[in-house]
Chains A and B, each alone.
Chain A
Amino acid sequence: MSDSARQFPAYDPADLWILDHEDIDALEIGAGILGTGGGGNPYVGKLRARQALNEGLQLSILPHQKIHDDALVVSVGGIGAPVVGVERIREGREGLRCIRALEAHLNCQVDAIACEEIGGSNAIEPLLVGAYAGMPVVDCDGMGRAFPEMQMTTYSIYGHRSTPSAMCDVHGNVVIFQHAASELWHERMARATVVSQGAGSDLASAPMRGQFVKKYGIPNSYTQAIGLGRTVRAAQKAHEDPIDAICKHERGKRLFTGKITDLKRHLQGGFVRGEVQLSGIDAQHGETGQVLIQNENLVFYHNEQMACCVPDLILVLDVDTGEAITTELLRYGQRVAIVALPCHELLRSPQALDVVGPKAFGFDDITYVPLQEV
């Protein structure tokens, strides 16, 4: 892994997209939508990004295909409980310390950051780590949405071993996971460690080569999230239907418009599981809908027919603003639009479906049928 003496430039600085305040505002909305109900609230991350910009730091994105094949890229993200994220806010440099710890452990120099999960609060964390470390974030991620567990990334699915990895907390504690027998073991050990660290840490996985990231990272995640946020903002300003605007921008499908008529949530194995019942309004008066939840929105039934399931994206959006409603904020009487977005092809292969398909979430009776693109 030692690349200390290498000669190539990892990327051309002229290719970088430097983010401004407006991009960050759009990213908050877009990442919230791609969170498909989970992923944590990006608001705190947005505030931190604003602080970083005001301090003169540079938040930059490198186009996906512009990273050198041999460059070292580290995927980083927050790990823990969303409620901790809004109360025990981070110290700020956890992610940077993860990168430095990995570099020291592996005697290498990291060139760029990759995003683990574009949906929710983990969209902004890599940008902050990159800003502190003086590195860009490659325009890609490992999920194209939000998922509850670490092994559910395309990086892991397509053969990258995420160990050795480094986890840091607010105190400055650093844990290196030298080796995990499987990606699932890594997830289990990381989960146990993060609880002892107060349930809000950062984790950086083993470096990947640029070549691998270009092939197996879900491309253009930041372009998509920021574009999505801008689309919603523009529609709100022009008093146009933000749901239609999202569908048009994302080649998505508006599956249902309705009102929440019942809501059940319960704890199971540390996850919030639940279901939302909907009754149609406007053109869909008299029809029914149902969303099944496990932290994220996983399955949607329309008139008792399965209409969309993981890994395709099921968005529950406020019908008036077009902004995402996370699963913990759902409540009776809300008027919502259910929009489905096609997931990336990388999540639709048999090996991906083993990890992120309906059966991986315990829906044994559901067979994944790819959402038809509009």
Chain B
Amino acid sequence: MYRLGIDVGGTNTDAVVMKGKDVLAGIKAPTSEDVTTGVVAAMNGAIAQAGIDRANVSNVMIGTTHFTNAVIERKHLTQVAAIRLGLPATACLPPAVDWPQDLKTVVGDHGYLVRGGYEFDGREISPLDEAELIRIAKDIQSKDLKAAAITCVFGPINAEMEQRAKAIIQEHCPGLPVVLSTDIGRIGLLERESATIMNASLLRLAAKTVDAFGDALRDAGINCPFYITQNDGTLMAAETVKNFPVLTFASGPTNSMRGAAFLTGVKEAIVVDIGGTTTDVGALQQGFPRQAATVVDVGGVRTNFRMPDVFSIGLGGGSLVREQNGAVAVGPQSVGYKIIQEAKVFGGQTLTTTDIAVASGKAQVGDPAKVADVDPALAKTAMDTITSMLENAVERARVSPELIPVIAVGGGSILMPDSLGDLTVIRPDNFAVANAVGAAIAQISGEVDRVFSLEKTTREECLVLAEQEATQNALAAGAVAETIQVIEREDVPLAYLPGNATRIHVKVVGEMGGSNE
């Protein structure tokens, strides 16, 4: 049986066919306006290249930036009722208070503050104001809002009040999709609430997109289940994505890092994904991207999603190389996707990093004769500059003093030298489609992130409890029990709180149930 991995990027849609641990075929096709055409083209290309019978494809995994782009471009979003449970607390800042005005206009500024919520220790701030929720439900109907987002103060320590509120709203607005903040994010009210509202506003697009993927696959003769990859490099069933589109926001860089880990077999490394214009750098820990500790900005909104800690520098295969007053400048300007016309090795007039790599004998692309006139001193200085940019980026991403390797992926990785400082560089086969490989090999995860009191128990006991809970979540999502392992275990003591409160974060992963190799 075969697995099909597809990564829908801004420029290219990549597809790979995998059998077990082998990559049988890899294809790049242009991303289409409607997304699905590009997906089908890449998929058909990969299947043809691999020469397999499509009836034997057992799973399809898709990574997509479609939902992130919808928020960034303010397109396809619906109006949402943003309901917060917490009065009298939080009265001073309404929902979406820190959103850019244009996004607020698109999603609608429908904030509702309701009595309810929890204190840090689980006591109620106020009993839930059910009569007010009924009034809000009527307002939702009269304004014809398409979804509701419910956020309860300290909801992450007790989801009950959000669930009760959802039941009341749905009782009075039958069929209205309702998103709960406890399913979306962690402690940090405004960030979690913003993510929940964004998720609610994407529901209609998510349903449409997932159905379109399903139709396209069926029309192409592929009838197996399909999954979509999320921020942490694990899978969500397509039906689940209809409920949680925001969890796919950072799946692009995640997939390329996971793919890099898989293609090399290395679990602790720095992954450098060099594209045409930028280079994404992140750290792999136990084969998964390390998560960002701080808030992440999406389309101008602060969120606290589980996102990989990836940063970008303005260096790619198309970056301009210029000589100014004896010094050599590299990037951040780039010829981008026009590299095929504009770079010197392809007969163009612009000196790019790719030309420098060819002139220095580091790569064989295009026509080397066209860069024969490049001053060797300039080429050397430019290569040194590129190397030191990469070295600095890798140093920033390094998470331990151990000598871990650097994995170079992406089309621009010809710029990468054979070693960076004291670190060796690995260049896997199929490096250009590492992101689609990352999608194809994604696993199922379960997670717990909550405040525990250590008053009548120990840190170790709480960690075990959290691990059991995370495992249950993974099993419920479709993981195979025997394959489950813990990949993240973190506890952060909280200052000034009694009872030795500590925040525990545990994540487990397992192989997907449907995958038979």
Taking beta carbons and an 8 Å cutoff, which residues of A are in contact with B? 44, 47-48, 51, 80-84, 86-92, 170-172, 191, 195, 198-199, 259, 261, 265-267, 270-272, 295, 328-329, 331-333, 335
Decide: B119 and A198 in contact? CB cutoff 8 A.
yes
* 24 cross-chain CB contacts under 8 A: A47-B190, A51-B93, A81-B495, A82-B495, A83-B187, A86-B187, A88-B86, A88-B89, A88-B117, A88-B119, A88-B189, A89-B189, A92-B92, A171-B125, A195-B497, A198-B119, A199-B119, A199-B497, A259-B395, A261-B401, A266-B493, A267-B500, A328-B492, A332-B400
Complex Cα gap A265–B492 (Å): 8
Q: How far is the CA of A328 from the CA of B399 in the complex (A)?
A: 17
A170 touches B494 (CB 8 A): no
The B442-500 residues at the A interface (CB cut-off 8 A) are 451, 492-498, 500
The 5 lowest CB-CB distance pairs between A and B, nearest first, are: A92-B92, A267-B493, A81-B496, A170-B89, A89-B90
User: With a CB–CB cut-off of 8 A, which chain B residues contact A89?
Assistant: 86, 89-90, 92-93, 153, 189-190
B97 touches A (CB below 8 Å):
yes
Residues of B within 8 A of A80 (CB): 496
- Given the known A-B contacts A265-B493, A267-B493, A332-B400, are A88 and B120 also in contact in the complex, defined by CB atoms under 8 Å? yes
Interface size bracket, B side: 35 or more
Asked if A81 and B92 sit within 8 Å, CB to CB, the answer is no
Give the residues in chain A near B154, CB-CB below 8 Å.
Answer: 87-88
In the complex the two chains form, what is the Cα distance from A267 to B498 in whole Å? Answer: 11
A51 to B357, CA, bound (A): 53
Residues of B within 8 A of A295 (CB): 495
| Contact with B397, one of A84, A195, A333 (Cβ below 8 angstroms) | A333
Bound Cα distance A267, B497 (Å): 10
**CB-contact partner of A333 in B89, B92, B398, under 8 A:** B398
Tell me the nearest residue of chain B to A194, going by C-beta: B496
Binding site secondary structure of chain B = loop
CB of B56 within 8 Å of the partner chain: no
> B300 at the A/B interface (Cβ < 8 Å)?
no
Q: Is the CB of A91 within 8 A of B88?
A: yes
Assembly CA distance A195 to B399 (angstroms): 37
Partner of A195, one of B396, B493, B498: B498
Known: A87-B187, A199-B496, A332-B400. A48 touches B92 (CB 8 A): yes
Cβ contact within 8 Å between B189 and A170 = no
Contacts of B98 in A (CB 8 A): 47
Task: Note all chain B residues with C-beta closer than 8 A to A44.
Answer: 93, 190
Q: Which residue of B lies closest to A319 (CB)?
A: B396
State A82–B153 Cα separation when bound (angstroms). 15
* Chain A interface main SS type: mixed
Do residues B120 and A329 form an inter-chain contact, with CB atoms below 8 A? no
- Hey, what's the 0/1 contact readout for B80-104 against A, CB within 8 Å counting as 1? 0000001011111100011000000
Is B293 at the interface (CB under 8 A from chain A)? yes
- Say yes or no: A90 contacts B92, CB within 8 Å: yes
* Chain B positions 53-99 with a Cβ under 8 Å from a chain A Cβ: 86, 88-93, 97-98
Residues of A within 8 A of B225 (CB): none
Question: Smallest Cβ distance from A327 to chain B, in angstroms?
Answer: 9
Residue pair A88, B495 in contact (C-beta under 8 Å): no
Q: Which residues of B contact A198 (CB under 8 A)?
A: 89, 119-120, 123, 125
Set of chain B residues within 8 Å of A48, measured between Cβ atoms: 92-93
Q: A91 touching B92 by the CB < 8 A rule? A: yes
Residues of B within 8 A of A267 (CB): 493, 495, 500, 502
The interface residues of chain B lying within 8 Å CB-to-CB of A335 are 395-396
Enumerate chain B residues within 8 angstroms of A51, measured Cβ to Cβ.
92-93, 97
Contact assessment for B495 and A272 in the assembled complex, using a CB-CB cutoff below 8 Å: yes
Residue of B nearest to A48 (CB): B92
Q: Which residues of B contact A270 (CB under 8 A)?
A: 495-498
Contact A86 B189 (CB under 8 A): yes
CB distance from A232 to the nearest CB of B (A): 18
Known: A199-B120, A328-B492. A333 touches B396 (CB 8 A): yes
Please indicate the chain A residues that have their CB under 8 angstroms from the CB of B293 in the complex.
Answer: 329, 331
Cα A82 to Cα B190 with chains together (Å): 14
Question: Are A88's CB and B91's CB within 8 A?
Answer: no
What's the minimum C-beta distance from B314 to chain A, rounded to whole angstroms?
Answer: 13
B294 within 8 A of A: yes
A331 to B290, CA, bound (A): 12
Is A88's CB under 8 angstroms from B493's CB? no
Q: Does B188 contact A (CB under 8 A)?
A: yes
Residues of A within 8 A of B497 (CB): 81, 83-84, 195, 199, 270
B294 near A91 (CB under 8 angstroms)?
Answer: no
Q: A51-B93, A198-B120, A198-B125 are in contact. Are A81 and B494 (CB under 8 A)?
A: yes
Contacts of A171 in B (CB 8 A): 88, 125
Q: A110 to B136: give the CA distance in the assembly, Å.
A: 41
A91 to B92, CA, bound (A): 6
- A170 contacts B188, C-beta separation under 8 Å: no
